[in-house]
Chains A and B, each alone.
Chain A
Amino acid sequence: MRMLSWFFGALLLAWPAYAQVPSVFIEDLTWPEVRDAIAGGKRTAIIYVGSSEQNGPHMVIGKHNFVARALAQRIAEQLGDALVYPILPYAVAGNALTRTGHMRFPGTVTLTPEAFFAVVRDMGQSALTAGFKVVAIMGDHGGGQDEMALAAKELDSEARASDARPVYWRPLRKVARPNARTSRQARAAHR
Chain B
Amino acid sequence: MRELLAKRGLPTDEDHAGIHDTSALLALETTPGQWVRKDKLSLADAKTGVQGHPQFATPELGNIYNDMKVDLALKQIRSLLASSR
Contacts and interface: CB of A to CB of B under 8 A. Distances in A.
Given A67-B25, A70-B66, A54 B49 contact: yes
B74 A79 contact: yes
B7 to A, nearest CB: 15
A55 interface: yes
A9 interface: no
Contact of A75 (B2, B22, B54, B73): B73
A19 interface: no
Nearest to B69: A175
Contacts of B48: 56-57
State the main secondary structure of chain A at its contact with B: mixed
Given A67-B28, A70-B66, A175-B72, A58 B38 contact: yes
Nearest to A102: B49
Nearest to B36: A59
A115 interface: no
A59 B21 contact: yes
Interface stretch (A33-41, A118-126, A177-185): A177-185
Contacts of B51: 189
Interface string B23-44: 0110010000001111011011
A66 B28 contact: yes
Given A60-B25, A66-B28, A67-B28, 11 more contacts: A55-B49, A56-B48, A57-B49, A60-B36, A102-B49, A136-B73, A168-B81, A175-B72, A175-B73, A176-B65, A177-B1
Interface of A: 44, 54-60, 62-63, 66-67, 70-71, 74-75, 78-79, 102, 104-105, 134, 136, 138, 140, 168, 170, 172, 175-179, 182, 185-186, 189
